[in-house]
Structure 1
Amino acid sequence: MGRLESTAALDAVARDYALVSLYMAGLDVASIARAVTVTPRIAAHRIGFHLLGVPDDGVDAANESTMVLEPDAAFDAVDEMYLNGMSVFEISEAIARPTSDVVWALLDAPARVVAVTRAVLQALRSDLEVLKGAAAAAK
């Protein structure tokens, strides 16, 4: 891994660690995005990737809309559906909304239904340490 690649990878993991940490601290998606200087949709997408396992769907930070999620009646039961065992993809189909909107709605649910697990934090910390070592070795 070259110096620029290792620095970019380190920056991306550090950003994701900050996003998840701020979510764990209780901030909403829009506040997290402002703190980390990304769009709210990118914040929701990256947190959703780590906490809900929603894969990268080609979200491009440079072209991503800065529009905020506009909840409507379709979102009223999203957290209940999730707590009843439905996946993000099943909920998306049930309410006919994109998975990114479902992720965002779940992350902003007042009941905080999406938990940050120790395994997620440990994996991000481990990635940070590995990439710090790679970046130092590339210098």
Structure 2
Amino acid sequence: MATTAVVASPPAVAAPETDDSGYLNSTARCAPPATAVLFGETADSRIAICKLKDGTFEYRGVRISDGAKLIAPAEESTNGYIAANDGIEYLVTAKSLVVSEGNDVLREEPMVDFHGAGASESEQTTPTSPTELPPPLPAERPAEQPEEPAA
């Protein structure tokens, strides 16, 4: 008796949609009048650095695995942008997101998609892995408006 093994591969998921403000329906997006200086995605995070109307910068990040969000003031540094929250620093460059505490690097996440400062037009990256990254999580999407009660 012959048996046949069937192996199912996960369906390919399209890369999240973007525009000049960042990732659509995501925390990693700059709302007018703020403008996106850069935005990018690692395997674990989506990030946008926004320039606010008053000229200051803001880090807007979301962890893909659970939708955890961080919005914090950011500063321009010699090699990217830095935001801090509760003693943890987030350094965003064209190449990676580096999360550190003091002199200890907690993790370094290479960019798989990057748009903005620090990369020439030919260096702008887009996801190229065979398994595309997932779309924004429900936690990243704006809350739905409650329906009006029927009269």
**Fold conserved between structures, TM > 0.5:** no
TM-score, scaled to structure 2: 0.31
Structure with greater contact order relative to length (CA < 8 Å, sep ≥ 6): 1
Give the structure with the larger strand fraction.
Answer: 2
Give the structure with the larger helix fraction.
Answer: 1
**Based on CA coordinates, which of the two structures has the bigger radius of gyration?**
2
